[in-house]
Amino acid sequence: MANFAIRLGIPEMLAYWQHLSTEAAQGTLGKDEQQLYQKWGQAMAHLAMNPFYPSLHTHEIPPLSKRYGMKVFQSYLENRNSRAARMYWVYGPDHQDITVIGLEPHPEDKKNGGYRKVQLSDLPKIQP
């Protein structure tokens, strides 16, 4: 299977990853942010190799796909945790790109309209 380039949605995902990376390099991340940084980094590495890597449990989220007009997928950063983080992503904007457009605790999709509350980042512009 071909590898994908992982891009980060703008401005939120890019800014958040840059924040975590900078703080990690400086050794100033708190325990929770350090765990998130490690799990998110590992999940993006798996996503680049194979978007359907078994531990990611990747699946499309139809309500988000309908809202955003493109297939939106959810992959796990972790499980066995009631507030387990989920990464939302789409294919594009370029061929062989995957863009991470959201990072949220798992919404309870059957309660309180969970996916209606999920806000996603914009895609980066295609580079000519």
**pTM of the full predicted structure?**
0.86
Domain presence at residue 34: yes
* Residue 26 in domain: yes
Instruction: Flag whether 107 is in a domain.
Output: yes
The CATH number of whichever domain residue 95 belongs to comes to 3.30.2310.20
Query: What domain count does the chain have?
Result: 1
Name the pLDDT band for 104 (thresholds 50, 70, 90): confident
Report yes or no on 86 lying in a domain: yes
Are residues 62 and 73 in contact, defined by beta-carbon separation less than 8 angstroms? no
Q: How far is CA 80 from CA 34, 76, 84, in A?
A: 18, 11, 7
Segments of the chain assigned E as strands: 5-8, 59-60, 73-76, 85-91, 97-105
Res. 9 pLDDT band, cuts 50 70 90: very high
Domain-embedded: residue 123: no
Q: Which value, to the nearest 10 degrees, does the dihedral of the CA atoms of residues 8, 11, 64, 33 take?
A: 70
The reply to whether 125 falls in a domain is: no
Task: Name the nearest CA neighbour of 71 among 79, 63, 81.
Answer: 63
